[in-house]
Structure 1
Amino acid sequence: MRRYLPFIVVGAGVLALLIWAFLPEAIAVETAAVSRRDLSVEIEAEGEAQIREVFTVSAPIAGKLQRIALHAGDTVRAGDVVARIGPAAPALLDSRSRAVAEAAEAAATASVDLARAQLAQADATLEYAASEADRAQALFDRATLSKQLLDNAILAQRTAEAAVASAKANLAVRERERDSARAVLAVGDGKDTCCIEINTPVAGRILRVVTEDERVVQAGTPIIEIGDPAALEISVELLSRDAVRATVGAAARIYGWGGPDLEARVERIEPAAVTKVSALGIEEQRVEVILSLSGDPEAWQGLGHGFRVLAGLSVWEGKDVLTIPVGALFRDGSDWAAYLVRDGRAVLTRIVIGERNDNFAQVLQGLEAGDLVVLHPSDAVTGGVRVRVLP
């Protein structure tokens, strides 16, 4: 037996070498550690910058529009003359046309009276809201009123101030309509050979000159669009399933417009959705969400009306959340899973995730902080296979 012992040892060594040679080589993998971090989830969508209030100045009567010397970007003040319209041909009003013109003038005068009444009502509401806000502030200073009720009173005051401004602008528009109606009668009488001057009802900048050249226009033809570039808002159309997660007052960021990231807030979510057809021909239910910009207005001076932007709406935030890189996740049936590296082998581990963004996902069950998981596992990585962690 001792005579065969060296041969047995040599044979065992050769067999071990053969087994080692034919063993599958360990698969090189990239790994990442499961760790705790702050996690935020955003809904990303394309949007469009738009001026909050755009006024279109139109021709009040049919006639010959004189060439407009103003251009897009010019600044105008309320009441400035932006266009002039003269009669297309000398003509007097017949009895029927005169009756219609007189009725229009009477209706315009009544509209002015109504606008004045609305302005008086808005002034009264503002006076009441201001007194309520002062009273609420006094009670809050004595610690007898909650901060929420104080904020509601201040909001009511600001809303009333906006209503007064809107009523004043509406009165200015109605007065111009009345003047236009009176001018129709004056031209029809042949007493005024001059042109009708069209004034802008608000101050701002000219966004677009719709009709610039001298031409004959019909009543209601758009001539100039005017707005205030400082009063910008962002309009975003979200899928209805994403819109239900957005809330009024939530933080948002505006990026991808060519300038620095801008801070914004969700101001309004439309209560109804509209059907839109995507580029792939799929019908989608879209909901318009309005974002108000916050911060220094100098930061978005280069942003203009109709500019394309990208918006990220914050829908969830978590502090000290156990997270896993999204690149380590894959589907195992109906469950989420990842390959956990233990003792040099890949271990298939089913996990439960919560919220996630483009980079990380919240881990609810299945992993602990410090665990190493395989990033972007290939088809060669299976449960139990030997792996080699790349540096």
Structure 2
Amino acid sequence: MRWHRIMLTMSGALALAACHAREAEVTPPRAVIAVTVHRDSRPVLATLPGEVNARYATPLSFRIAGKLIVRNVHLGDTVKAGDVIARLDPDDAQRSLASAQAQLMAAQHRLTFAEQQLDRDRAQAQEQLISTAQLEQTQDAYVAAVAQRDQVVEQFALLKNQVQYTTLTAEHAGVVTSEDADTGQNLAPGQAVYHVAWSGEVDILCDVPESLLKALAVGSAASISLPAVTGRRYAAHVRELSPAADPGSRTYRAKLTLDAPGPEVHLGMTANVTFADTAGEAQADDPITLPATALFHEGNAPAVWVVRPRDQALELRRVQVGRYDDRTISVSQGLTDGERVVLQGVHTVSAGETVRAVAPLHPEDFAS
């Protein structure tokens, strides 16, 4: 009985100690991904969709008609200048060249004979053995033989070129963007066999609304982001701006050249073209650009979570969004330069919750 009372006393003491230990435990603040925001130094005029294109793209075709018998490259292949990419059946061209070669030999033989006859007649004319009229006929025959020889020489050169034209070579390095003819097809002169986009300078094509025309000109700077290449922006400038609007869309086609495209930039990629206002420096009413992941809603109103500096607690702040882009939002009112805003997990936190703000592990993933 005594031992039973001792055991009960010890059990109660242990339970009370465990209760006090649990009360002493302090839950650490939750870590949230947040960054200090700043106003855009150059307010964005507009962000427009675009497409990556080669500066030059040309169709490749044969100069003569013929039957296509060989295709050495296909869609997406890379070619170098001088590569043979297709061939026509050369039989007819080679036969014509052989005929022209025979005609050239005959014309050269006639010319040799006419030259020898002219030498004999000149010698006989000096001895007054033939008349002047006969010498003139011999001279005329010699001139005609020279002219005929020259004509056959040119015809031979033309047919020799025709044989070379049965082989299609790439004039510039590039990428095959389309196949326009099949093996066995009879082609007309100039009919496209391939389209090749040249390697080298890369353009971004976008359509500009008329409301932006006054702010843009050839040479205007732009910032390019590619959805397929996250965390990087490319500098570009307007190379060409169409003087007339498209009759269907009423927009103006702009061609921008990427200043330093990398190997990760491929033809046909979609792009976001951002034009900034370069008229002045940041002002107090300039917008703040945030990743779209920071956006929350209070009712129907857009809002963001702000980390209060005095107690590290979360405050839900209503904001006014001036522009929505694919990956970013532009906050025109509601935030102050230097405040910390939660970028991720906005649906898992609550107002008044004490948090520990940490920077993104990969800041480029949240680059605006």
Task: Give the TM-score, by structure 2 length.
Answer: 0.46
The structure whose Rg is larger is: 2
